[in-house]
Amino acid sequence: MRGEVIAMDGYILRNRQEQLTLSADAADKLLQSGQGDAALLYLALRRFGRGVTPEELEKVLPISRLRIDAAEKVLQDLDLLPRPARQAPPDPADERPVYTAQDIAGLLTDNEGFRLLVPQTEQQLGKKLRTADLQILAGLYDDLGMPADVIYLLVCHCVERARSQWGEGRRPTMRQVEKEGYRWAQLGIFDQNSAAVYLKKWAERNRKYTSYLSNLRILNRPPVEAERRYIDQWMDMGFPPETVALAYERTVFYKKDLNWRYLNGILRRWHDAGWHTPRQVEEGEAAGKRPAAGKSAAPAGDKAERTDKPRRNNHRRRKPRPKTDGEAKS
């Protein structure tokens, strides 16, 4: 659209001799999201067209490939980009670069943010960072392109999570910090605002674990990782602790004790039936409705277990023993 202004209800961005239009709806969505990487990517796509390749975007945008992928997901969530049918990208943790002692020395010399981040991280972890630890920290800062202030929030979060899971005095390893860092990158967390939103949601969910555990008669301890996966799944499905308590009673009735897989199967079946509150379960069962039979999904790494009936004995029935001549006459 060189040399011509297209009339539309939005904004006109001038770039040399070209004019780019940006709708007011798109601008509002980007402003409200607070995602700077997404805004940069959207402008680049408007400037160069959606046929531009990821390699070309890496050359014109001052962000890493992983941040471009995360920004793309944000635009899809904002309905500013279509969702292509494609496989999930590989885990970026499998593609870690190797940083030499010379590379780390260069970062400490040339980057004030990284230089300040090292003692801050050591203070939070309560130890002196070894060479392997510094390599991980350099990967988060240099390869992922995560700002130093966001990495510091990441480290603090990992320390708090370790304390809540394992008790006072326990600290995470740098490998655990790295794993969570790549997760943040995949979620598009590259600035303080998005980190604050994530941390607030995590804190709210972490407080709810106690309520769920108490309804399972588990007191005075935090959940272990496998239990967290189950509870996270139930919260994502929309089950309040009261419904989990009802499923717990059914589980104990059939299994005589808490069985996480069995309880999860009950909740999955209720979820498929649209029953999420105790009242919905009561009304559904009173109306004679039954959730659809079938296998119930469990968190990754766990096999699902059927929950509609106690397990039946699958042994074949013995055939009647033929009567002897004496028995037949009597």
169 within a domain of the structure (yes/no): yes
What pLDDT does 178 receive? 94
- Same domain assignment for residues 279 and 213: yes
Does 202 reside within a domain? no
Domain membership flag for residue 66: yes
What is the rounded distance in angstroms from the CA atom of residue 153 to the CA atom of residue 175?
Answer: 16
Co-location of 75 and 105 in the same domain: no
Residues 78 and 101 in one domain: no
* Same domain, residue pair 128 and 174: yes
Both tokens of 88, joined, read 């999930």
Report how far residue 239's alpha carbon sits from residue 223's, in angstroms, rounded to the nearest whole number.
Answer: 18
Roughly what angle, to the nearest 10 degrees, separates helices 131-138 and 101-110?
60
| Closest residue by Cα to residue 267 from 257, 284, 281 | 281
Last residue of a domain, one of 162, 190, 218: 190
Tell me if 299 is assigned to some domain.
no
| Same domain, yes or no: 173 and 224 | no
Q: For the chain, what is the domain count? A: 3
Please indicate, yes or no, whether residues 218 and 173 belong to a single structural domain of this protein. no
pLDDT of residue 6: 30
Q: What is the pLDDT of residue 295?
A: 44
What are phi and psi for residue 222, nearest 5 degrees?
Answer: -80, 160
Angle at which helix 241-255 crosses helix 278-286, to 10 degrees, equals: 60
Which of 190, 225, 244 is the last residue in one of the domains? 190
294 within domain boundaries? no
So what's the pLDDT on residue 95? 62
Residue that the structure tokens 């860092």 belong to: 181
Q: Is residue 162 located within the same domain as residue 220?
A: no
In this structure, are 172 and 237 located in the same domain? Answer: no
Please indicate, yes or no, whether residues 182 and 215 belong to a single structural domain of this protein: no
Q: Is residue 3 part of a domain?
A: no
Range(s) of the domain holding residue 17: 10-84
Question: Which of 186, 183, 161 has the alpha carbon at shortest distance from 171?
Answer: 161
Q: Do both 219 and 270 map to the same domain? A: yes
Task: Tell me, yes or no, whether 214 and 255 share the same domain.
Answer: yes
Q: Per residue of the chain (330 residues), give pLDDT as tens.
A: 333 333 334 444 444 455 667 788 888 888 888 888 888 888 888 777 756 777 778 788 888 777 887 888 788 888 887 765 444 444 555 567 789 999 999 999 999 999 999 999 999 999 999 999 999 999 999 988 899 999 999 999 999 999 887 778 889 999 999 999 999 998 889 999 999 999 998 999 888 998 999 999 998 888 888 898 999 999 999 999 999 999 999 999 999 999 999 999 999 999 999 999 999 999 999 887 776 544 444 454 444 444 433 333 444 444 455 555 554 444
DSSP secondary structure, 278-304, as one string? HHHHHHHHHTT--PPPS----STT---
Please, which residues have CB within 8 angstroms of residue 56's CB and are 6 or more apart in sequence?
Answer: 48
Question: Is 195 a member of any domain?
Answer: no
The CATH number covering residue 252 comes to 1.10.10.630
In a domain, 91, yes or no: no
